[in-house]
A = this chain, B = another copy of it.
Amino acid sequence: MHQPDPPPAPKPLRADAARNRAKLLAAATELFGERGLDAPLEEIARRAGVSIGTLYNHFPSREAFWEAIFPARLAALEQLTETALAAPDAWDGFVAYLEGLFALQAEDQGLNDAVAQRFRAAGEVEQACNRGFRHAELLIQRARDSGQLRPDFEAADLVTLSWAMSQVIRESMETAPDAWRRCLAFFLDGLRTGAAHPIEVPPLPQGQPGEVTRSR
């Protein structure tokens, strides 16, 4: 009887390797945050003070970086959802969630790109996305049930909204970093039950449940 090999033994790194890996991760986090998911890998290496070869040694692809970086971000998001779900008022919780989400995007171009569909999630990241999306659905449900969020607002509409805000954030980041808040405020006023007028167009068809991401 052999062990059910739990995690397949991530053998220990040599000291220098571990150091370099950490520097690369820091540099990548920083650069993706500043310049988005397309930031050149060569500059990440430069910023980490490491050769391009070493970079590829640790992270064989751009996606490998994402997989190493996003879980932390997504955890912050999950945290945010918890808090929002715990808010005494359903509408307030819903609003707090949106504001928190977009504030995160505004702080991190990489996350903003991710939300704006500029990468294809897989594996661990995909799982986390799905979880996050399902939680957001709860929030929406709750706000709808309380009678404050218009009944025709669906989870899929959250995706569209995120796309929209991502561009506002991207464009205004430097000149007017709070512009997205104003835009969101207008939008939110349209989401209140009292404001609702009938809408003809159906929501986005969602592929898999929680499919927030597709190749660009």
Contacts and interface: CB of A to CB of B under 8 A. Distances in A.
A160 interface: yes
Given A189-B190, A196-B189, A199-B186, A163 B167 contact: yes
Nearest to A203: B182
Interface residues of A, number: 43
A202 B189 contact: no
Interface stretch (A4-12, A54-62, A77-85, A169-177): A169-177
A49 interface: no
Chain copies in the assembly? 2
Most buried by B among A116, A182, A192: A182
Given A189-B196, A190-B190, A160 B183 contact: yes
A178 interface: yes
Secondary structure call for the A interface: helix
Contacts of A64: none
A68 interface: no
A203 B197 CA distance: 26
Interface of A: 116-117, 150, 153, 157, 160-161, 163-168, 170-172, 175-176, 178-179, 181-183, 185-192, 194-197, 199-205, 214
6 contacts: A160-B183, A161-B183, A164-B183, A182-B199, A182-B201, A185-B197
